[in-house]
Structure 1
Amino acid sequence: MIPFRTLSPGQVIDKVIIHSLDWSLYQVSIEQNGKETWILDRNGQPMTARNILELEAKFERFQVASMVLRHESAYDEMVNQPVRQGTNRMEVPIGRNRLGRS
């Protein structure tokens, strides 16, 4: 885990991953050199938001190679399906809207 404040503006980030946890609840991690790391807020807690665009705006000052929305469904467990051999992870690329710039 790494505090957001320790990232340097202009820093190159391989991938920003916005994790969809629940209805309108998101957390964020970054991937650097193949290693995924959770981002912490100023209170040392995992950075969360109720809006994807809020998290996207936080990374406007960084050089991000890709940004994705990731969702891992618990649907199979909820309907008593057998455990999958593979993952049901879905990643959708999201654009850069430049919302943090005036």
Structure 2
Amino acid sequence: MTMPLSKLEKYFYIDKLVIHSLDLSLYQVSVVIDDEEHYVTDDKGQFLRAFSIVELQKQCRKLKAKQQVLRQQSAYDEMVGQPSRDSSNLLEVPLKDNKLY
């Protein structure tokens, strides 16, 4: 499911702002509202993406998120000799917007 940034800016609160690490230095944003995850888009319907976490924080600065996290899921466990897993290797790291923009 997707939701435009302009609509999200009108929400009273957002449970979690998630910045997904897609590839090397490419990031994409989603939000969690009432246990449902929505990918954030611009007004043209394009996913909100950037090559910098700080750039995405700048674009989302008007959102009232209770928490921010960086989410990464590696597809490379086998390349470094890790055995196949039955569970996910999802990693979420808490972030803080230090307003470095």
TM over 0.5, shorter chain = yes
> For residue 89 of structure 1, what is the aligned residue in structure 2?
90
Answer whether contact 1:15 1:31 (CA < 8 A) is retained. yes
Partner SS, residue 31 of structure 1: strand
Alpha-carbon offset, residue 99 of structure 1: 4.0
What CA deviation, in whole Å up to 9, does each residue of 1:39-92 have, x standing for no partner? Answer: 112331211000000111122222210000000000124468654111100000
Structure 2 residues without counterparts, runs of 5 or longer:
none
User: Hey, which of these two has a bigger chunk of strand by percent?
Assistant: 1
Give, as a single letter, the amino acid of the residue that structure 2 aligns with 1:35.
Answer: E
46-55 vs 58-67, which moves further: 58-67
Partner SS, residue 64 of structure 1: coil
2:41 is equivalent to residue 51 of structure 1: no
Alignment TM-score, normalising by the size of structure 2? 0.85
Measured in 2, the distance between the counterparts of 1:30 and 1:10 equals 12
Measured in 2, the distance between the counterparts of 1:9 and 1:46 equals 19
Answer whether contact 1:16 1:68 (CA < 8 A) is retained. yes
Alignment TM-score, normalising by the size of structure 1? 0.84
- Kindly tell me the number of residue pairs found equivalent between the two proteins: 100
Partner SS, residue 63 of structure 1: coil
What CA deviation, in whole Å up to 9, does each residue of 1:14-52 have, x standing for no partner? Answer: 100000001110000000111111011233121100000
